[in-house]
Structure formats: structure tokens, C-alpha cells
């Protein structure tokens, strides 16, 4: 297994990690990323296999559980009940409860509200250049998740702030200040949810929180599940929408059909690394692993595997081929994938319909948020709304 060195916070890597991924794939289906001291699956076949291998999971083996850290105790208490970090029966029970709210019918029922929200946000676009992330890509997903949960739209700014603080805990640039902000956000988010849980218990309605209460989910699981759905559902959609608009503007393409959305997810996905614990001794791509080892699935690399897709670095919304791995795979395949796909299609459709003159005002800038991959800002101008060029 070849060893590759690459800081995930290096500015050049932050702006374009794909050259490093190509170097990793050329070194083999598995490489050891020195900066993480971890084996990484690099190609589509190996990443897909690891995601689906039942000898691996997300839950840390009991004998390797880290000692409690008081500096992050609140955050870790929520994470301990997150279905993202659990396997087996507990994970299946939580996932099953959520899936009862993610039926095709319930997701379709959200479409008119998402469309109206997109129009309302565009109505407020300024005539001069502006950041599309702040004006559109961030508020649409977070308000949609708020409505799904059953909390007021007015809470969106708080939810966004808490989510950003908590999600930063997964980033390579973790610092004591980020940890402290995440602790404060966790406490505020839990207090907010407990207040709404009390109201929903008294007067249940047709929303996700009421559904989870009806499933008799323990409060610790319920809090963690709601936080996960906001953090994962909003963060990935924001990044994908921003990345997709930037890709299409650069390519001179205006598309919102399912094939175009899938190509955005393939070419510039919102999450680039997703790890698995080895739970049983096994062999992967000719390499031996022992219980307690970790393998990182490089989703961003697998989605550009040139042995799978012709001209894999090119945005081609008409391409064919196997499914990308942006939503993961196996037991932890993204539970919100259908909602994310619908949100993206509607948001792009309304944007291109209302803003045919949309153009980049400056080159897109990616944020230092690895393992995620999303823009820090996306400044645009819209000639059709009187922008000056």
C-alpha cells in the first residue's frame, strides 16, 4: 500500500482536491493517507465494496472507545445516539422510524412549499452582485428541514448557526475554539428541541417530530435524530446546490432535470470522506485488515474514476454509467437522498427560470471544511434583474 502525503487544509487542496485523488487512484485501489495515518479506498469499485461490507461499520469497537473528553461532553452525548454512528438493531430501529416520514408521498407533499420558498428568495435578490449562498443556497434547505421537523421558519437562522457550529466538529481543521462553539450550539439546539417536544406531545401534528414521538423513541434518541437530520440534510444540500450552480455557470449549462442533478453529485459531491471501522478481520483489495482498523472511503475520488466514466473530470449531464457514491451505500445510505434530489431539482429549475441572465461575478471560492467540499462564497450577477456588468 503506497503512502500519500497531503494536508487536507492546504489551500491548493481545498480549492481543488481532485488532482490529489487522481494521484491516489494511480497508486492503487487502497493507499495510506499519511496525514490521517489511515487506509483510503480510492476507486469506485473499492469504495462501493467497503460501503456495503457488513464486516465494517460506523460504530467504534467497544474496546477502542476513547476516554470521555469534558471539553466536548455535550456534543459526544448527542453523537452517541446518532444513527449515523450506530450499527445493528439500534441503527435499524432509528432509521426505520425516520423512514416513516420519508415516504414518497410525504416528500412530494413538500414540493409546492419548496417551490414557493425558492420564488420568495429570488424575489429578494438585489440588483447588484451578491452571494448566492447567503441569498438562496443556505436558506432554502434549512427552512425546508425546519418545516419537515415541524418548527417555525423563523428559527432558520438559529438552526443554521447551530448546525454550522456542530458540523465543524467533523472537519480536519478542528480547534479548541471550534469545539467550544459546538458545545454551546449543542446545548442551545437541545434546549430548543425539548421545548418543541413538549408542545408536540401536548398537540401532535403531521410533522417529523410528532412522528418520532408517536414511535415512542426515547428522548435522547429523538434529540440526536432531529439534530442529525438538520445537520446532514441541510449541510449536504447547501454544498451541492452551490457547487452545482458554479459548475453549470462555468459550463454555460442551465439544467435542472434528474440527470443533471446526478452529474453534479458525481462530479463535485458535498462529502468527500466517509470512514468505516473494521469489525472483523478481513481482506480488501489484496490488503489485510484487523478489527479496530479504519478505512476511509474517498467519495470524491471514487466519483471521478476514469476506468468507470469517460472524461470523468468533465461536467456532462447526459452521461451514462453506474450510480455515483455521493450518498454513500449499504446500511448507511443517505436516508434523505430522495428529499435532497427533489430540493435540488426544484431549486435549480426555479433559479434558471427566474434568472436567465445569472453569471459569475468572480471565481467561486471553496471553504476550508474538509471532509466536506463546498463553497465559501458564490458571488453572482443577474443581467435580467438590472445588474451592471
Domain at 2-385: CATH code: 1.10.630.10
pLDDT, residue 207, reads 86
pLDDT digits (tens, 9 = 90+) for 309-321: 999 999 999 998 8
Looking at residue 42, its pLDDT comes to: 98
Dist CA 239 CA 227 (whole Å): 18
Three-point CA angle 151, 79, 106, nearest 5°: 40
Using 50, 70 and 90 to split pLDDT, how confident is the model at 386? low
For residue 199, CA distances in Å to 160, 205, 372 come to 22, 10, 35
Q: With 90 as the cut, is the pLDDT of residue 101 above it?
A: no
Q: To the nearest whole number, what is the mean pLDDT of the chain?
A: 93
pLDDT at 352: 97
What is the spatial distance between Cα 181 and Cα 162, in angstroms, rounded to a whole number?
Answer: 9
* Nearest to 336, CA basis, from 240, 237, 269, 239: 237
Contact in structure between 141 and 238 (CB atoms under 8 Å)? yes
Q: Contact 244/253 with Cβ under 8 angstroms? A: no
- Calculate mean pLDDT across residues 204-208: 86
pLDDT in tens, 38-91: 999 999 999 999 999 999 999 999 899 889 999 999 999 999 999 999 999 999
pLDDT tier, 388 (very low <50, low <70, confident <90, very high otherwise): very low
Query: In which band, very low, low, confident or very high, does the pLDDT at 173 lie, cut at 50, 70 and 90?
Result: confident
Contacts of 338 (CB under 8 A, 6+ apart): 102, 104, 107
- % pLDDT > 70, the chain: 99
Q: Which of 355, 389, 298, 388 is nearest to 136 (CA)?
A: 355
Provide the 3-class DSSP secondary structure of residue 351.
helix
> Does residue 123 carry a pLDDT above 70?
yes
Distance CA 27, CA 39 (A): 12
Contact present, 295 and 276 (Cβ < 8 Å): yes
Element (H, E) at 284: strand 282-284
Q: How confident is the model at residue 354 (pLDDT cuts 50, 70, 90)?
A: very high
Say yes or no to pLDDT of 385 above 80. no
> Within 10 A of 360 (CB to CB), how many other CB atoms are there?
16
Cα 347 from Cα 361, distance rounded (Å)? 20
How many Å apart are CA 387 and CA 385, to the nearest integer? 6
**Residue 172 pLDDT greater than 90, yes or no:** no
What average pLDDT does range 141-150 have in this prediction?
92
The SS3 of residue 246 is helix
Residue 103: predicted pLDDT: 82
How far are the Cα atoms of 50, 240, 331, 381 from residue 361, in angstroms, in the given order?
A: 41, 19, 42, 6
221-262 confidence digits (pLDDT tens): 999 999 999 888 788 999 999 999 999 999 999 999 999 999
CA atoms of 85 and 57, how far apart (whole Å): 9
Closest alpha carbon to 334 in 322, 325, 343, 342: 325
Tell me: pLDDT of 377 over 50: yes
Instruction: Tell me what the mean pLDDT of segment 295-308 comes to.
Output: 98
Amino acid at each position: 500500500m503506497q503512502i500519500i502525503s497531503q494536508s487536507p487544509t492546504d489551500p491548493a487542496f481545498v480549492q481543488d482536491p481532485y488532482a490529489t485523488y487522481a494521484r491516489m487512484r494511480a497508486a492503487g485501489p487502497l493507499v495510506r493517507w499519511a496525514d490521517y495515518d489511515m487506509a483510503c479506498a480510492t476507486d469506485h469499485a473499492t469504495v462501493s465494496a467497503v460501503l456495503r461490507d457488513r464486516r465494517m461499520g460506523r460504530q467504534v469497537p467497544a474496546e477502542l472507545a476513547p476516554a470521555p473528553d469534558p471539553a466536548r461532553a455535550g456534543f459526544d452525548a448527542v453523537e452517541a445516539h446518532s444513527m449515523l454512528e450506530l450499527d445493528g438493531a439500534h441503527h435499524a430501529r432509528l432509521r426505520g422510524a425516520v423512514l416513516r416520514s420519508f415516504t414518497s408521498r410525504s416528500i412530494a407533499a413538500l414540493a409546492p412549499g419548496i417551490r414557493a420558498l425558492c420564488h420568495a428568495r429570488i424575489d429578494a435578490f438585489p440588483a447588484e452582485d451578491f452571494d448566492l449562498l447567503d441569498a438562496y443556497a443556505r436558506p432554502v434547505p434549512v427552512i425546508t428541514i425546519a418545516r419537515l421537523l415541524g418548527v417555525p421558519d423563523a428559527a432558520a437562522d438559529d438552526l443554521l448557526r447551530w448546525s454550522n457550529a456542530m458540523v465543524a466538529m467533523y472537519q480536519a481543521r478542528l480547534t479548541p475554539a471550534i469545539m467550544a462553539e459546538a458545545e454551546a450550539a449543542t446545548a442551545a439546539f437541545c434546549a430548543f428541541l425539548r421545548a418543541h417536544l413538549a408542545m408536540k406531545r401536548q398537540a401532535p401534528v403531521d410533522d417529523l417530530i410528532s412522528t418520532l414521538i408517536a414511535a415512542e423513541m426515547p428522548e435522547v434518541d429523538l434529540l440526536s435524530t432531529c439534530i442529525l437530520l438538520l445537520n446532514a440534510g441541510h449541510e449536504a444540500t447547501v454544498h451541492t446546490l452551490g457547487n452545482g450552480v458554479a459548475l453549470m455557470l462555468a459550463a454555460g449549462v442551465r439544467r435542472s432535470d434528474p440527470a443533471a442533478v446526478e452529474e453534479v453529485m458525481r462530479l463535485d459531491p458535498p462529502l468527500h470522506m466517509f470512514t468505516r471501522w473494521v469489525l472483523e478481520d478481513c481482506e480488501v483489495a489484496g490488503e489485510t485488515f484487523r478489527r479496530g482498523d479504519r478505512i476511509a472511503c474517498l467519495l470524491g475520488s471514487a466519483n471521478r474514476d476514469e476506468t468507470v466514466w469517460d472524461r470523468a473530470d468533465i461536467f456532462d449531464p447526459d452521461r451514462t454509467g453506474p450510480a455515483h457514491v455521493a450518498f454513500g451505500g449499504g446500511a448507511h445510505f443517505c436516508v434523505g437522498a430522495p428529499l435532497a434530489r427533489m430540493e435540488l431539482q426544484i431549486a435549480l429549475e426555479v433559479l434558471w427560470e427566474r434568472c436567465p441572465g445569472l453569471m459569475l461575478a468572480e471565481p467561486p471560492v471553496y471553504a476550508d471544511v474538509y471532509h466536506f467540499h463546498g463553497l465559501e462564497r458564490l458571488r453572482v450577477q443577474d443581467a435580467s434583474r438590472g445588474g451592471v456588468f
